[in-house]
Structure 1
Amino acid sequence: MKNSFVELHARERALSLLDANTAREIVGPLDDMISPHLEPQDIVPESDDGIVLMRGKIEGNQVLVVSIEGKFQGGGIGEVSGAKIVAALEKVLEENKNGNTIYPIIVLDTGGVRLQEANYGLLSISEIQNVVIALKKFVPVIGLVPGRVGSFGGMSITASILSYLIATNKARIALNGPEVIEQEAGVREFDSSDKDLIWDTLGTKQRQATDLVDEVVDDSVDSIKESIINEIKTKKDAHRTENVDFYLSLLDKLDLSKKLDIDSYNKLFKSVVATKHTIPAAVAGEKAGTKSRGRLWFEKLTGIKNATSPVSTVLHAQKDGKEFIAIVPDADNKFPRVREGEVGLQEGFAVASIVNQIVAEDKDKDVKRPIVLVVDVPSQAYGYQEELIGIHVALGSSAAAYAKARQAGHPVIDFIPGDAVSGGFLAHGLQSNRMIALDDDSITIQAMSKASAARITQRTITELEEATKHVPAMAYDIDNYEKLGALYKLVKGIGSWEATDENVDKIKELINQAIDSLDGDTSLHFRYQTEIAKASGRKSTLQVRKLVDEEWSK
């Protein structure tokens, strides 16, 4: 197609948007900043790791274009690629804080986490989301989803957080790809061979009809550039992750006795009138809830026996001046895809409601209430109706709420006695500025189940497990996760189910120490500053950050 934007590569896309003779690339191919994690897996790396950072101007306005190359590793985000995006956006934030207006534009052609660097990808995506939230206080953060890959996985959560989202009719947006849903929930849940159903559900026509995309334009450089220019002038913000009451009201009206289809959902969407939702604190109940490590530790840390809540899978309560929040399983939940503790629609929006209320209540207080996340989330929910409604927005709402709370001065502390997997961890855990985990072999931290990861990367499970021996970021266990340098403390000698009075007191003391260690820090930079991070865990991240800093103002 003549003048097609979709058919261009990442670098060509960035150049096509910028005014003539204004483009300057930062940390480009000649810097040879490749991922160190691919060659050990016999994967040929790229000299720019699939990310193009281009400073320049659009109609005289200073911009940074971040362009993701969908043809390299499916546009997946790993350590180097993620670090390039984060470091560049942080420079844009710094410039805007100093009164030098620069507009960030992110071209999303991405499957989300690069599974060959899974845990680096999750960390990086959470860090991208954090700086996007900070930037939105100064300028709109503009997203563009042209097509080819679309915007999936953790980067669909990022897309939900952006100020304004432009797409072509060749793009799709979803948290979980159809193949992953089919793998996790079965072909009856979502048939990945039904291309019409995929496009009708995840394509931008439907996404625009339900406000998950702001504008759908023709696939031409001119049309896309015109829309970007208009957004720079008007500075619109969809506030997509702030529509919590609307979505909780929608879920109240959802008839779960019937299979949801597109027409019925669109009618429901148009009929909803948002009403104020407040999620009450958990109270003691007569009957024990579905057993889980997260529920056990929430009850022990708060002193609430058989904790119960109107949202059965979301528990929160104040104790010792702290707010504890947990997402827990409910074997009888009306949403079948969250019965084992997964983070779904109601969980994401309910947590966002709770955290937003905490921030509002403490707005004028000099000392902000610490928020302690009890993390035991086996994944996000895998379901057709979840994707149709927009589970990526639910998880984005939760992640954004935690990021805003931390940036407002609330200490946000993770305690991880259970699993921390994929979008569930992005929504409930990875916006914390300190992470405490139990050293228990039963804990899984990763971006995707082994079966789904093997299917997507076209490996056998045996081959996948062999690769994890050489790349800690691909491993599923907490000891390898510690090697990335992100943990504040890995607690030895306490098992996931060993919530004795003595052990609970030890964890409470560690939480207090973590809060004290912040000393006013509201960033996520601690992850780069631990001894493990500096020595090996985030060595490439630190090299990228140094290069971006050196090249930014040349």
Structure 2
Amino acid sequence: MGIRSSFIEGRARERASAILDPGTFRELLDPFERMESPHLARLGIVPQSDDGVVIARGTIDGLSAVVIAIEGKFQGGGIGEVSGAKIAGALEQALSDNREGFATRAVLVLETGGVRLQEGNYGLLAIAEIQAAIVALRQYVPVVCVIAGMIGCFGGMSITAGLCSKIIMTRQARLGLNGPEVIEQEAGILEFDSRNRPMVWSITGGEQRVETGLSDVLEEDEAERIRHAVIASLRQGLPAKHRSSQVARFLARLGAIDPQERINAKELRRLWSRDIDSEVLNGATPVQLEDGQAPAKPAVTSRGRIWFDALKGEAPRQTGEFPSVLCADVHYEGQVIRFLAVVPDPDNRFPRATRGEVGLNEGWTLARYVNEAVEADRDGSRRAIVAIVDVPSQAYGYREEMLGLFQACAAAVDAYATARLAGHPVVALLVGNAISGAFLAHGLQANRMLALDDPDVAVQVMSKASAARVTRCSVEELEHNARHMAAAAHDIRSFAKLGALHELIEGINPDAPSAAEIACVRSRLFEAVESARGSATDLSHRLASEEAASSRSASIAVRERMRRQWK
């Protein structure tokens, strides 16, 4: 009997090599290229020459493939500018191959906590670009994700996993949006005890994810078995419908949950193994237009609501089950624009999502509204979609992780990216906070992003207080670092230096805009819509701006070198 080779114990190169056909491994941008992070050394962190990501070309089952493997032992597998650009660049090259008629499949081996906090918005932008490439690549070939090791897959990269055609996990692996320690810090130990390891694995572990339909294959920790699972997944081809597109199914599943009860893993398996899919796969009940009258209960004021009401004017708001997601179609200058916003709802059935966070219902409902527009416009003019962004974070909670918040956010990402690829101009207007996974789900897939120039418009992976708790730095230390690196700052002017903003709109009162100011913003949005309508449907323009040429030079250099080495 042969010696079994552990997949988990292998480093990133060994894992990538184990998946590829023997003798076909060829690494791109290897350590001798010295494509390391230009940002870590100034923070006193020793960089790594491959920045913790291995890109390997070769074949799987005799067919062209690229394997992208994250090294969890470097910075916890965190995604920074260079590592993120390597992943996005490889996926973009695979996409280019497929568009030219040469089928190249992609496999991601994920061992990551999400964005590398020290590089902040570099990682956030990179993950959005990774996600955009996956949604585009899935139109041609399946994208398979392997999560095997003890770090698992968390943060924005869990949303990335939720976009994949197939997810393969081991029992040791974990998959969730928010890490246990982060939930405990944000919501308290009564909400989530990160030291209760059996509970943690019962919620986010591989066996539970597969049993509840949030992952596809449970495999043993053996390299050859993982390889065969990857081959089997690729041979199955594209699914009839990706999990992140199954909106009606998952909204129905959430409807079977009583949020007032602290559901356990065993009970969730029972509930979600019911044969309820046949009831909902024909589509959810269509939303209806209301008459424009105010709801019976006073709404909580937020910038998202202020600007949604201001920009929709007299247009009727669509009404659905969840008042935390606002939607309205507005006729302007001869075309239709769909406005979407996530707003506070004190009566949210999930109590961890009452302050405007993107939670379970919010993610799936955003996806529903966007998908409805895409389907309705399939044979006609593509309406513009405007995401009004004022989201303090994703929801932090026991139920959220148990019920797959990562997948709800992936559904929203999928919907926005699919709309963009279908020719819908997608524009984001940042009027308040744009934080972490919530911003990935609602805003970062836009063709064009605009923002109000205001001190309270903030973009970052975490709030300052949260980042200080996680990194064990003081807020003052974080602010000091931010003065030397725009990507680590929270303010919108620093974010604008990264080149992703289409326009920073000055001279607007965000909390009480005048009629003239509303008209000004509406006009700027329309200009952005027209700009997006006449340009590429991907996110490549973000690296073509004058600001990006200097602030994201590493992202550009990685892609250029990747392109040269690809063939």
Shift in CA distance, 391/277, structure 1 to aligned 2, threshold 3 Å: farther
The 5 A counterparts of 1:348-497 are 348-365=363-380, 367-497=381-511
The residue number in structure 2 matching 1:291 is: 301
The residue number in structure 2 matching 1:97 is: 99
Distance in 2 between residues matched to 1:18 and 1:306, nearest whole Å: 54
| CA apart distance, 1:515 | 1.6
Distance in 2 between residues matched to 1:26 and 1:281, nearest whole Å: 53
Contact 2:212–2:268 (CA<8 Å) still a contact in 1? no
Residues 334-390 of structure 1 deviation map (CA, whole Å, 9 limit, x = unaligned): 22111110000000111111111100000111x310001111000001010110010
The residue number in structure 2 matching 1:20 is: 22
| CA apart distance, 1:236 | 5.0
Distance in 2 between residues matched to 1:330 and 1:85, nearest whole Å: 37
Q: 2:245 aligns with which of 230, 242, 246?
A: 242
The residue number in structure 2 matching 1:312 is: 323
> What amino acid maps onto 1:335 in structure 2?
F
1:303 aligns with 2:313: yes
The residue number in structure 1 matching 2:530 is: 516
> What amino acid maps onto 2:176 in structure 1?
A
The 5 A counterparts of 1:102-181 are 102-181=104-183
TM-score under structure 2 normalisation?
0.94
| CA apart distance, 1:251 | 2.4
Moved more, 171-180 or 25-34: 25-34
Q: 1:29 aligns with which of 8, 28, 31?
A: 31
> What amino acid maps onto 1:278 in structure 2?
P
| CA apart distance, 1:531 | 0.9
Distance in 2 between residues matched to 1:215 and 1:54, nearest whole Å: 23
SS at match of 1:363: coil
SS at match of 1:430: coil
Contact 1:108–1:143 (CA<8 Å) still a contact in 2? yes
1:550 aligns with 2:564: yes
| CA apart distance, 1:147 | 0.9
Moved more, 442-451 or 355-364: 442-451
Distance in 2 between residues matched to 1:35 and 1:409, nearest whole Å: 35
Shift in CA distance, 285/131, structure 1 to aligned 2, threshold 3 Å: same
Residues 136-170 of structure 1 deviation map (CA, whole Å, 9 limit, x = unaligned): 11110010001121110111001011001111111
Moved more, 356-365 or 11-20: 11-20
Residues 276-326 of structure 1 deviation map (CA, whole Å, 9 limit, x = unaligned): 243345633155411000000000100159968331101111112100011
Moved more, 243-252 or 132-141: 243-252
Contact 1:485–1:528 (CA<8 Å) still a contact in 2? yes
Contact 2:389–2:428 (CA<8 Å) still a contact in 1? yes
Q: 1:278 aligns with which of 275, 281, 286?
A: 286
Distance in 1 between residues matched to 2:63 and 2:289, nearest whole Å: 47
Distance in 1 between residues matched to 2:42 and 2:257, nearest whole Å: 48
Distance in 2 between residues matched to 1:62 and 1:250, nearest whole Å: 38
Contact 2:315–2:329 (CA<8 Å) still a contact in 1? no
Contact 1:299–1:305 (CA<8 Å) still a contact in 2? no
Residues 411-453 of structure 1 deviation map (CA, whole Å, 9 limit, x = unaligned): 0001111110011101100000100000110122111123332
Distance in 1 between residues matched to 2:47 and 2:519, nearest whole Å: 47
Distance in 2 between residues matched to 1:206 and 1:415, nearest whole Å: 38
Contact 2:35–2:51 (CA<8 Å) still a contact in 1? yes
Shift in CA distance, 448/60, structure 1 to aligned 2, threshold 3 Å: same
Contact 2:324–2:342 (CA<8 Å) still a contact in 1? yes
Contact 2:119–2:487 (CA<8 Å) still a contact in 1? yes
Moved more, 17-26 or 46-55: 17-26
Distance in 2 between residues matched to 1:359 and 1:422, nearest whole Å: 26
Residues 90-126 of structure 1 deviation map (CA, whole Å, 9 limit, x = unaligned): 1111111112111101000111111111111111111
Distance in 2 between residues matched to 1:499 and 1:542, nearest whole Å: 38
The residue number in structure 1 matching 2:233 is: 231
Distance in 2 between residues matched to 1:316 and 1:332, nearest whole Å: 19
Residues 217-256 of structure 1 deviation map (CA, whole Å, 9 limit, x = unaligned): 1111110111111122222537111221122112223222
SS at match of 2:504: strand
1:222 aligns with 2:232: no
Q: Name the Cα RMSD after superposition.
A: 1.6
SS at match of 1:317: strand
Distance in 1 between residues matched to 2:256 and 2:169, nearest whole Å: 30
> What amino acid maps onto 1:262 in structure 2?
A
Q: 1:507 aligns with which of 490, 515, 521?
A: 521
1:339 aligns with 2:354: yes
Give the % identical residues: 45
Distance in 2 between residues matched to 1:338 and 1:305, nearest whole Å: 27
TM-score under structure 1 normalisation?
0.96
Aligned length: 551
Residues 431-481 of structure 1 deviation map (CA, whole Å, 9 limit, x = unaligned): 001000001101221111233323333333332232222221111111111
Identify unmatched segments of 5+ residues in structure 1: none
The residue number in structure 2 matching 1:183 is: 185
> What amino acid maps onto 1:269 in structure 2?
W
Segments ≥4 residues shifted beyond 4 Å: 304-308
| CA apart distance, 1:17 | 2.1
Distance in 2 between residues matched to 1:7 and 1:462, nearest whole Å: 39
The 5 A counterparts of 1:253-268 are 253-268=256-271
| CA apart distance, 1:2 | 4.3
Residues 474-524 of structure 1 deviation map (CA, whole Å, 9 limit, x = unaligned): 111111111111000011111321321101111111111112222132111
